[in-house]
Amino acid sequence: MAVPHGSNETSYLLPPNKEDWEGQGVPDFIYGQKDLMWEGIQWPRNTASLLDTPPPSRFDTALCSAWRQRMELGLFRYCLGELQTQTLPGTVGFVAQLNVERGVQRRRPQNIRSVRQPFDPKQFNFNKIQPGEVLFRLHREPGLPDVLQQEDILVVINVSPLEWGHVLLVPEPSRGLPQRLLPGALRAGLEAVLLSSHPGFRVGFNSLGGLASVNHLHLHGYYLSHRLPVEGAPSEPLDPGGHLHLLQAVPAPGFLFYTSGAGPDLEALISRVCRATDYLTDHEIAHNLFVTRGAPPGKTAPFSALTGVRVILWARKSSFGIKEGEAFNVALCELAGHLPVKTSQDFSSLTEAAALALIQDCLLPHDQAEEVQAALVALTTQKEQ
C-alpha cells in the first residue's frame, strides 16, 4: 500500500538510537466512531491504479509508515520486496503469490496437540518479542454508543510477512490468553478493517489445529491489492432470521456473517461469531476465520459493491504442524482465495484444480460438516428467539 513520504504522522516511528527503543513505551493510536468507515470504500475500476487509490486513512498512514521503518531497520526475518503475483486461470479467481522467504525463514510452529490447549509461558509468546516490534496500541475513545469499552490491542509486526503491512493484533500479552477467539479480539479485528480506507486490508484468525503457529491469542491483518472470491460469493440463509448464511461458492463452503452498521448490529455479529467459534473449540474442531469488506449475503456477483463487512468461518480438519512438500498450507488466507506459494516451481505449475484439491482435502467430511451446520443453526436460532 502506498503511503505519502511527506506524511506528518511520525509519532509511531522508533527513535534513531536502538538503545532508546525499549524506554520509548508503546504509543497509542486513539480512534473514535468517526474513524470507522462504513461507506464509500470500493475497488477502483481501473486495476492499474490499485496502489494509488483510495487515499490512505490515518490508520493506514500510521501502520504503513511504522511498518516500513521496521523493515528498513531489519526487524523482520527477511526483506519483503514486491511479490510475483498471478490470478490462476479458471472460475474461482485464486490470487497466487510467490513468497519463498516465508516458506524458508518463518518460525517453526509450536507443538500443538489440541484445539483447546492451554497457554504455556515456556513456549514462544508475544511477551518475548524484541523492542521495536510493537507499532502501536489500538485505543478506542470511551463513549462509543451501544458498545462495551474495547480493551487495548497491540499492533505488532509479523516478522515473517505474507504481504505488505502484515501485522498481528494481540490483546494485552501479559494476560497469557490461549489462541481461542474472544469478543474483544474479534471486535478489534472488525474495527481495524473499518479504520482502513484500503478495500484490501483484511483480518483473520487461525485456531489451534487450523495452522496457528503460536498459542497466544492473536489475529492477522495485512494488505492485498486484489479482490478475493469471498467478497462477493453467493450465499443462502440457514436460519429464519437471516443471521447465518452458507457461502456456497469455492474455494470452500463456509459460514457467512454480515453487517453494514455499527452499534447493536456489530455487537450482535460479534456475539454470533464467538458463539460459533466457542462451539467449535469446545468440540475440538479446528477453524479459520476471515474478515473483509464485501457484498451483502444472497445472489451477489464477483464485482459487487463493498457495502459492509463479511466474516467467513470455516470448520476444518485439524492439522498440527506444517506439511512439507505441498505448494501451500491451508489456513485463513488460502480458504479466502489468497495462495502464498513456497517455491518457484510450484508457482509456475499451480493450477486451479490442484489448489482446490489441496483446500478440499482439509475440509470436514460431509457427515461431520452437516452436523456442525445443524449445531450452528440451532445456536443462532435459539439465541434470536
DSSP states of 349-371? H--HHHHHHHHHTTBPPHHHHHH
Tell me what pLDDT residue 7 has: 44
- Is 10 a residue whose pLDDT tops 90? no
Select the more confidently predicted residue: 126 or 54: 126
Q: Where are the beta strands (DSSP E) in the chain?
A: 28-31, 85-87, 95-98, 134-140, 153-157, 167-171, 201-206, 219-223, 235-237, 245-247, 254-259, 286-294, 308-316, 338-341
Tell me what pLDDT residue 277 has: 98
Average pLDDT over residues 367-380: 97
Average pLDDT over residues 266-277: 96
Average pLDDT over residues 62-72: 97
β-bridge mates for residue 96, sequence order: 86, 339
**Mean pLDDT computed over every residue of the chain:** 90
Q: How confident is the model at residue 24 (pLDDT cuts 50, 70, 90)?
A: confident
* Sequence-separated (6 or more) residues with CB below 8 Å from residue 268: 243, 259
Tell me what pLDDT residue 8 has: 46
Tell me what pLDDT residue 145 has: 54
Helix runs in 287-351, H state only: 332-336, 344-349
Let me know if 338 is a catalytic residue. Answer: no
Least confident span in 165-174, 207-216, 297-306, 328-337: 297-306
Tell me what pLDDT residue 16 has: 85
Tell me what pLDDT residue 1 has: 47
- Is 110 a residue whose pLDDT tops 50? yes
- Is 361 a residue whose pLDDT tops 80? yes
Catalytic member of 216, 218, 220, 245: 218
Which three cell numbers, joined as nine digits, stand for 195?
Answer: 479504520
- Is 149 a residue whose pLDDT tops 70? no
Tell me what pLDDT residue 331 has: 96
Tell me what pLDDT residue 3 has: 43
Helix runs in 258-384, H state only: 264-282, 332-336, 344-349, 352-360, 366-384
Least confident span in 10-24, 88-102, 228-242: 10-24
- Is 200 a residue whose pLDDT tops 60? yes
Average pLDDT over residues 44-64: 78
- Is 80 a residue whose pLDDT tops 50? yes
Tell me what pLDDT residue 5 has: 41
The DSSP code for 210 is B
Residue type, position 222, single letter? Y
Our CA dihedral for 6, 34, 218, 289, rounded to 10 degrees, sits at -110
Average pLDDT over residues 356-368: 96
Average pLDDT over residues 313-323: 86
Q: How confident is the model at residue 47 (pLDDT cuts 50, 70, 90)?
A: low
C-alpha span between 123 and 109 (Å, rounded)? 10
Provide the residue count of the chain.
Answer: 385
Pairing of strands 95-98, 338-341: parallel
Average pLDDT over residues 21-33: 89
